[in-house]
Amino acid sequence: MLWSNSLVMAILRNVGAVGWCFVLVSACIGTDFQNDPIVDPLIELESEQIGLKIDEQIQLSPRYFNEYGQEEQVSFNYSSSNPALVEVNSTGLITAKSPGTGFVQIRFGEKAMKSLQINVVSDPNEVAVVKVSAERRTLFPGQKTQMVISIQNLTGQNLTGKTIQWFSENETIATVDQNGLVTAMKLGKTDIHAKVSGVKSNPVTVSVAVQQLSGTFVPAGGYRAKGMAFLNQENEKLILRFSQDFETSFALGTFVYLSNSTNGQEIRSSGLEIAEIRANGPHTFDITSKHPEVQITDYKYVIIFCKPAAVTFGFAEMKN
């Protein structure tokens, strides 16, 4: 049997201990967990940057993964940022027309979009692909990281001795010198990219973060939540801790989430599940081990969440 959120909340508030047990079993066990979105839909490509010579063609074969992480066979829409440079037809066949850099966008309705960079060259020995990465993508103010660059021609041969230009999209957040050394300046995010012989690299997002955020749990919807939450950067890991006096209401299926909203449906659709909890008191969660892409400032709230009913028991707003 499926229960609406409003019915579950009303019963939880108004019945006694016997009813409490009934609701926990019926509402939480009876709900179909497979209906809960767990990831953002995405389009995957074999590469996000390719090099082509004039008149060369390549067939795109994108893959779509839905909000449950399952691959679906769908029809994509293709468009070119500069058809005079790069053409793409309705089936995803790309034709290189003239030298330069263009982009092909691949879309599945309003659900997902991916951009592919196309570098068109007239000489197969010229620079065709420039890829960059960062040794570290999260820094604290004053810290540094080295960018790494790969320069290749159309045959995949690595090229050396080329002049490299480095750029930061926002130098108030992080700067980059002409050796590719990035220095963090202040809290925020910025993209770093390089350019070689007129060919632009992929962007790499560098986050400048604080070392700790904290927040006090506030109860929601008449439920119980107290104590504090702490987010810390420790030895390249993002760690979430609850204080000794942490307490919350419980149901079968009580989880810790990170979210930018306290609304139950928005948490369910776009929040980040951390772990299930079954006891009060101190807790420690290694977020990086499960979600290595998450940065300390990505989410505003730590949520105590009844996942089956999409009910928020309490939340802590994380601040510096």
Structure confidence at residue 14 (pLDDT): 39
The CATH-assigned architecture of domain 129-208 is Sandwich (2.60)
Backbone angles phi, psi at 41, to 5 degrees: -60, 145
Residue type for position 80: S
Helix (H, G, I), strand (E, B) or coil at 141: coil
Give the DSSP letter of residue 319.
Answer: B
Supply the pLDDT for residue 38. Answer: 60
Amino acid at residue number 283:
H
Output the tens digit of pLDDT for each of the chain's 320 residues.
Answer: 334 444 344 334 434 434 444 444 434 433 334 444 467 899 999 999 999 999 999 999 999 999 888 999 999 999 999 999 999 999 999 999 999 999 999 999 999 999 999 999 999 999 999 999 999 998 888 999 999 999 999 999 999 999 999 999 999 999 999 999 999 998 899 999 999 999 999 999 999 887 889 999 999 999 999 999 999 988 779 999 999 999 999 999 999 999 999 999 999 999 999 999 999 999 999 999 999 989 888 999 999 999 999 999 999 999 98
Burial class (CB in 10 A: 0-12, 13-18, 19+), 228: middle
**Comparing 42-121 with 129-208, is the CATH topology the same?**
yes
Helix %, strand %, coil % for the chain, to 5? Answer: 10, 45, 40
CATH number of 42-121: 2.60.40.1080
Q: Where are the domains of the chain?
A: 42-121, 129-208, 211-317
Please choose, from the candidates 35, 236, 245, 259, the residue with its C-alpha nearest in 3D space to the C-alpha of residue 136. Answer: 236
pLDDT in the model for residue 15: 41
* Amino acid 225: pLDDT: 98
- Cα 301 from Cα 180, distance rounded (Å): 35
Contacts of 251 (CB under 8 A, 6+ apart): 12, 23, 24, 27, 28, 306, 308, 309, 311
pTM of the model: 0.60
